[in-house]
A = this chain, B = another copy of it.
Amino acid sequence: MTRREPRPRERGIPEATVARLPVYLRALQALSESGTPTVSSEELASRAGVNSAKLRKDLSHLGSYGTRGVGYDVGYLVYQISRELGLTQDWSVAIVGAGNLGRALANYGGFGTRGFRIAALLDAEPALVGDRVAGLSVGHIDTLEGVVEAENVSIGVIATPAQAAQAVCDRFVGAGVTSVLNFAPVVLNVPPEVDVRKVDLSIELQILAFHEQRKADGREGPERIGTLDAPPGPAGGQ
């Protein structure tokens, strides 16, 4: 009858953990640079802004890399997390849309240092093609497929206006890209093997506004001034 297991957690690492590993990694790299040899879960958790039990459980998914009574070896943990996240290899990224955001991204130095190489910056606007941004020459969107193949691009970044985003995404997918980071405020349609992550600044602001309004309601509320019933938001959950 072949009962399909609900989701065999393909190799064991929960999505929520994956999202936190980069935060731990950053904290560990800072420790490493300051020469700290080992760190306790309590200390590292504090720097990462999480509960120490959660941190230990997260790390336990990678294996037993701690020493009881001592803590974790910083250098070793840096390596293990990097390996698990796939940062021991380099990844080529193509950015489409050389507007405000695309240029800011291309100019940002923080990517290269983490194994992400910006292979191309493409745009549809002829006037922009050829511009030099951060040592990169803006290419024409029609070269997308060629660039993806030639540069072995595996991550596509969409920084075009909303109305162009789906078409750009389709071209990425058609060219074989299976990971997309989308800044345009639209829901992208992709086949199931493609991962899409979206960054939507308007949504972030709207969520903040929601909580802000709630706080204000509490403050100006009719007859429960100063009650401070419950923390008005998820308080600090970054």
Contact = CB atoms under 8 A, between A and B. Distances in A.
Given A211-B179, A238-B182, A206 B47 contact: no
A225 to B, nearest CB: 15
How many residues of A sit at the interface, in one of the four size bands? 35 or more
20 contacts: A8-B229, A10-B232, A18-B210, A23-B187, A86-B212, A86-B213, A89-B213, A100-B103, A100-B104, A101-B104, A101-B108, A110-B201, A116-B209, A154-B212, A155-B208, A155-B209, A179-B212, A192-B235, A193-B231, A194-B235
Interface string A102-141: 0111011011001110000000000000000000000000
Contact of A87 (B11, B193, B206, B211): B206
B181 A93 contact: no
Interface in A157-214: 178-182, 185, 187-190, 192-214
A5 interface: yes
A148 interface: no
A201 B238 CA distance: 14
Nearest to A113: B202
A21 B47 CA distance: 32
B178 A210 contact: no
Contacts of A231: 7, 192-193
Interface of A: 5, 7-8, 10-11, 15, 18-19, 21-23, 25-27, 47-49, 84-87, 89, 91, 93, 100-101, 103-105, 107-108, 110-111, 114-116, 154-155, 178-182, 185, 187-190, 192-215, 229-236, 238
Contact of A208 (B7, B181, B234, B238): B181
Contact of A199 (B21, B89, B103, B199): B199
A30 to B, nearest CB: 9
Given A111-B205, A208-B195, A230-B8, A238 B187 contact: yes
A205 B116 contact: yes
Q: Which 7 A-B pairs have the closest CB atoms?
A: A86-B213, A100-B104, A49-B187, A179-B208, A192-B235, A22-B206, A104-B104
